[in-house]
Structure 1
Amino acid sequence: MPDPILYIGNKNYSSWSFRPWIGMRMAGIAFEERLVPFDMGNGNPAFVKFSPTGKVPVLIDDGVTIWESLAILDHVSRANPASGLWPDDNARRSRAMAVSLEMISSFSALRSACPMNMRRPRAAIATTAAIDADAARIQSLWDECLAETGGPFLLGNFSIADAMYAPVVNRLDVYGFETTQASAGYMARMKALPAWQEWEAAGRAEPWIVEEDEA
Structure 2
Amino acid sequence: MAKATLTISSKNYGAWSLRGWLLCKMAGLDFDEVPVDMDDPDQRQELLLLSPSVLVPRLVDGEVTVWDTLAIANYLNEEYPEAKLLPEGKAKRAHCRAVSGEIHSGFYNLRSALPMNLKAQHKSFKIFSGARPDVERVKEIWTECLDAYGGPFLFGRPTMADAMWAPVCTRFRTYAVPLEPKLQAYCDTVFEWDLMKEWTEGAMAEPDEIVELEVEF
TM-score of the superposed pair, with normalisation by structure 2: 0.88
Larger relative contact order (C-alpha < 8 A, sep ≥ 6)?
1
Contact 1:96 1:161 in 2 (8 A): yes
**C-alpha deviation, 1:54, in angstroms:** 5.7
Structure 1 residues 213, 86: closer, same or farther in 2, change over 3 A? farther
Alignment of 1:84-99 (within 5 A): 84-99=84-99
Structure 1 residues 89, 125: closer, same or farther in 2, change over 3 A? same
**C-alpha deviation, 1:41, in angstroms:** 5.6
Q: 2: distance between equivalents of 1:143 and 1:201?
A: 29
Query: In the alignment, what sits opposite 2:155?
Result: 155
Alignment pair present for 1:108 and 2:108 = yes
Contact 1:41 1:213 in 2 (8 A): no
The superposition leaves residues 52-108 of structure 1 with CA deviations (integer Å, 9 ceiling, x where unpaired) of: x76310011112211100101110111001101011211111001100111022211
Q: 2: distance between equivalents of 1:64 and 1:136?
A: 38
Paired AA for residue 94 in structure 2? S
Query: In the alignment, what sits opposite 1:73?
Result: 73
Alignment of 1:39-188 (within 5 A): 39=39, 42-43=42-43, 55-188=55-188
Query: In the alignment, what sits opposite 1:211?
Result: 213
Could you say what the CA RMSD is over the residues aligned between the two structures, in angstroms?
A: 1.8
Paired AA for residue 181 in structure 1? P
Contact 2:23 2:76 in 1 (8 A): no
Query: Higher mean Cα deviation, 27-36 or 195-204?
Result: 27-36
- Give aligned pairs, total: 206
Alignment of 1:10-25 (within 5 A): 10-25=10-25
- Secondary structure of the residue that 1:43 maps to in structure 2? helix
Query: In the alignment, what sits opposite 1:32?
Result: 32
Identity fraction in percent: 36
Contact 2:96 2:160 in 1 (8 A): yes
Q: 2: distance between equivalents of 1:191 and 1:10?
A: 18
Structure 2 spans left out of the alignment, 5+ residues: 45-52
Q: 2: distance between equivalents of 1:196 and 1:167?
A: 10
Q: 1: distance between equivalents of 2:215 and 2:75?
A: 28
TM-score of the superposed pair, with normalisation by structure 1: 0.89
Q: 2: distance between equivalents of 1:124 and 1:212?
A: 21
Query: Higher mean Cα deviation, 17-26 or 108-117?
Result: 17-26
Contact 1:142 1:154 in 2 (8 A): yes
**C-alpha deviation, 1:23, in angstroms:** 2.1
Q: Which runs of 4+ in 1 moved over 6 A?
A: none
Structure 1 residues 16, 213: closer, same or farther in 2, change over 3 A? farther
